[in-house]
Amino acid sequence: MKQFVLRFSDMHALPDADAVTEAFQRKLNERGCELGTEGYSVQVTLDPGLPEGTYALSAMQESAELTAADPCAVMAGLGEFLLGWRFEGGIAVPERHIRFTPRSRFRGLYFATHFHNFYHTAPMEAVYQQIEDAAFRGGNAITVWYDMHHFTGIDDPASGPYLKRLQDILCYARKLGMRTCLTMLSNEGFAGTPDRLKASSAVQNGYHSVLDGHYGVEICPSRPGGIEEIIRQRRSVLRAFRGCSPDYVVYWPYDQGGCTCESCAPWGTNGFLILFPYFEEAVRKELPDTRIIMSTWYFDHFIDGEWERFFDLIGQDRFKNVHWLMDFFPEGKMPDCILSHGLPADREMIAFPEISMYGGKPWGGFGANPLPSFLQRSNDCGEKLYSGISCYSEGIFEDINKTIMLLYISGREKDARCAIRDYASWELMTNDADSLVRLAEILEETLPRETVLTAESVRFRIMKPDRVREAAGIAREIDATMPEPARSSWRWRILYLRALIDESILRNDGFVSEETDEYLRELENIYRIVPESLRVVSPPSLSTIQNKWLKYEAEWKSEQQNGD
């Protein structure tokens, strides 16, 4: 077993050198190596005089030297060191000399901690490892959101464990030197909002559809006492995060936010902006060192004309403290005003790319969902638009997509296929990267599927089935030659299982068989699925189909028959 020694010139210059050491040790263990007192030496030196995020790595036959500008650059540099190893006939570290400065200042992930998905239920150590891996791949920011609607208030006993989980995520990210960010929807509310304060989500006042995501507890700022109650609740949540002092807070319009009443519509350029100065003051009082990011998510989705009007308004002096905008325009489908003039008022925008839900529900329910072509097209179209990134992550099934996006936004790899080759080297101990690229491309092609739900059964019809068997064959070939411990790692298993699950579903005309169920139950264990997990984040095992699909369908039909 190959041994390595990690040495720091000044351990006190890092927020937590032990956390960095343990993270590096884990990556070595995943490769069948270990950290010790003798062996290949990796010397780490911090040089604050370098540009932010910069690292310089010189790897030789028996030792390596890493000079980094800051703690995040240390993690990214160590990730660089782990790249390109050879595994045939024993582990060999390639000689390399590289200096790299990331092109973006905000390179992050948003952990959607809800629905009893992985981030919501997994042991914290497993969640911490996701933060570490983001840092090894060049990430420098982690975002969370405190989902309020479950609880009566911040002091609700049921809120305690959930709140602590989010606090711990941000605090651990800070240990690695990463930026931290808290998302808040503009007018979301705690449970028990009185009717007199409730926001509207009806098709009215120019809205052509109801607002997705409303839980019926959102607060209308135009109602008497509405603004006061919204801000009281916001301040209670902001106050709860003082201990981890997030660097940024995101002011979000829709998706459990918004109001379609006459006084608030159109929300994105009316109620949302009227409420903003009160929100800004609440942030200043509770977290004075925290900066504000304004999201434009779902502008023009429910009602037309929001972006065009917002384009003119955002340049006003009352929004001067908005540090960044945040949105995502998949495959370049952006508003005409941006296509014609670029971003408004010389603002910078952080992308909020979709890496989880593309292809249908349940998200990740059939295994890994690599999206190299979709993400490549979106990246190419938005190359000059985005100054940073915060990837929307619902779990660990999109691990390849995280890598593609983090390497892209840093400027490390603009080609999604090259990023997958790096992933093969980093995580799967294989130098046969071409086969993995082909597998990822086919899995993307065969991902979209139609769900046919009746009272008796659930059928998953793969929309493009022609290459499903080819993917299974490639996966089996890779599996037969992949070395341990990578072969049994969850990263490979979710790719391998995806290919086998699709093959099994195709063989059984879209239905889950006993064979398919065995694969799906392994996914449930990897994803840390619990009985409370919603079906949208749960692999559709036979048990889940019975308890979370068919039972729901029977109850829904009963309600329809009773006129409820």
Cα–Cα nearest to 84, from 400, 423, 313, 384: 423
β-strands 179-185, 248-252 pairing: parallel
Residue 225 CA from chain centroid, whole number: 35
Q: Are 218 and 179 in contact (CB under 8 A)?
A: no
Report pLDDT digits (tens) over 287-312: 999 999 999 999 999 999 999 999 99
At 4, the pLDDT band (50, 70, 90 cuts) reads very high
Sign of CA dihedral 37, 41, 45, 50: negative
Reading the block at residue 484, the tokens are 């341990």
Residue 269 DSSP class:
G
Query: By C-alpha distance, which of 354, 523, 550, 551 is closest to 451?
Result: 550
pLDDT digits (tens, 9 = 90+) for 425-464: 999 998 679 999 999 999 999 999 999 999 899 999 999 9
Tell which residue, 67, 91, 90, 70, has the closest CA to residue 80. Answer: 67
Q: Encode pLDDT of 83-97 as tens digits.
A: 999 888 788 999 999
Q: Assign 564 a pLDDT band (cuts: 50, 70, 90).
A: very low
Which tens digit of pLDDT belongs to each residue from 186-207? 999 999 999 999 999 999 999 9
> Is the pTM of the predicted complex or chain greater than 0.75?
yes
- CATH 1.10.10.10, applies to 3-100: no
Q: How far apart are CA 352 and CA 393, in angstroms?
A: 10
Q: Based on the number of CB atoms within 10 Å of its own CB, is 195 exposed (0-12), middle (13-18) or buried (19 or more)?
A: exposed
DSSP designation for 39: S
Whole-number Å distance between alpha carbons of 65 and 561: 71
Q: What mean pLDDT comes out for the span 496-513?
A: 98
Q: Which pLDDT score is estimated for 556?
A: 54
Question: Rounded distance, CA 256 to CA 469, Å?
Answer: 41
DSSP string, 488-512: GSHHHHHHHHHHHHHHHHHHTTT--
The mean pLDDT of 135-143, rounded to a whole number, is 98
Q: What is the pLDDT of residues 505-514, one digit of tens each?
A: 999 999 999 9
- CB-count exposure of residue 555 (10 Å: 0-12, 13-18, 19+): exposed
Q: What is the mean pLDDT of residues 177-183?
A: 98
pLDDT, average across residues 113-117 = 97
**pLDDT tens per residue, range 365-424:** 999 999 999 999 999 999 999 999 999 999 999 999 999 999 999 999 999 999 999 999
Kindly calculate the radius of gyration of the chain based on its CA atoms and give it in whole angstroms: 24
As annotated, the residues of the chain forming the CATH 3.30.379.10 domain(s) are: 3-100
Cβ-contact 200, 259 below 8 angstroms: yes
Q: What DSSP designation does 331 have?
A: G
For tokens 């409730």, name the residue. 198
β-partners of residue 198 are 219
Q: How does the average pLDDT of the chain come out, rounded? A: 95
CA 99-45-167 angle, to 5 degrees, is 95
pLDDT at 562: 47
Q: What's the gap between Cα 426 and its chain centre?
A: 20
pLDDT tier for residue 18 given thresholds of 50, 70 and 90 = very high
Query: Would strands 291-295 and 322-327 be described as parallel, antiparallel, or unpaired?
Result: parallel
Cβ pair 110, 352 in contact under 8 A: yes
The residue type at 331:
E
Taking the alpha carbons of 524, 528, 533, 538 in that order, is the dihedral positive or negative? negative
pLDDT band of 554, cuts 50, 70, 90: low
Q: How many CB atoms lie within 10 A of CB 97?
A: 10
Phi (first) and psi of residue 455, to 5 degrees: -70, -20
